[in-house]
Amino acid sequence: MSSDIFSLKLGLNSCYLIRGKTTIMVDGGMPNKLRVFRRKLGRLYIHPEEIKLMILTHSHFDHAGSAKAISELTGAKIVIHESERSFLENSEFAMIKGVNLYGKITLAVFRPFFKRISFPKVKADIFINEKVYPLYEYGIDGKILHTPGHTQGSLSVLLDTGEAFVGCLAHDGLPFRLNPGFPIYAQNIDQIKESWRLLIDKGAKIIFPGHGNPFPVEIIRKQLFS
């Protein structure tokens, strides 16, 4: 069964709602975005209670910033990788490095701010330890995959129809990149490439990044094998 996909920008973060038999959400937006979230949900005629699960691709403030408020409103269970648990519970920033020159320069400028930005601490309900976590019991034909590289516990959601929601495994558009591709910030670029190989191997076709607009996987395939 194919799912309906809705894109929802909460600040810099492109969040996504995936509706199968239930609705799940990928990422929780920047801090203080509950009002925006409610308004956008209303425009889509989606009731907050429909959302059963909120999968955080990782614990950075721009993806987990409104997770607490949104989960309180919707009742959605929060899902995160076990290794990101303490960052989420303590509102801490998992360190990353600049991948290219632009990433190195901007990170040097922004790192002190990143470290200071806090978001409401929140406890997740489900911790992912395994490489593959199926979503069928939530009425979604797809799975969560452990795709480390940007951070150690980065997760992606892959639908059986090929749509992949990858958080910061890709960046697309300003202020990060001019065009879609590998992230400019990562803990380990080799792991990023390995995670992409996994996603392509598992059937990823259309990429929905945590920042920017969807793009075809061929763009990554070219960068991976160039």
- How many CA atoms lie within 13 Å of 186's alpha carbon, on the beta-carbon side? 24
**x-or-dash string of contact with Zn ion, 109-148, rule CB under 5 A:** ----------------------------------------
Encoding tokens for residue 66? 């409104």
| Residue 64 makes contact with Zn ion by CB under 5 A | no
| Residue 62 makes contact with Zn ion by CB under 5 A | yes
* Closest residue to Zn ion: CB criterion: 60
**DSSP β-bridge partners for residue 19:** 4, 23
| Residue (58 or 68) nearer to Zn ion, CB | 58
φ, ψ (nearest 5 deg) of residue 126: -130, 130
Task: Tell me which of 53, 168, 186, 199 binds Zn ion, using CB under 5 A.
Answer: 168
| Residue (93 or 138) nearer to Zn ion, CB | 93
Q: Count residues near Zn ion (CB under 5 A).
A: 3
Stretches 45-53, 106-114, 124-132, 160-168: which one binds Zn ion (CB under 5 A)? 160-168
Encoding tokens for residue 191? 């792991």
Q: Smallest distance from the beta carbon of 106 to Zn ion, in angstroms?
A: 13
Strands of the chain, DSSP E:
4-10, 13-19, 23-26, 51-55, 77-81, 97-98, 126-128, 132-134, 142-146, 155-159, 163-167, 185-186, 206-209, 215-216
Binding residues for Zn ion, rule: CB under 5 A, are: 60, 62, 168
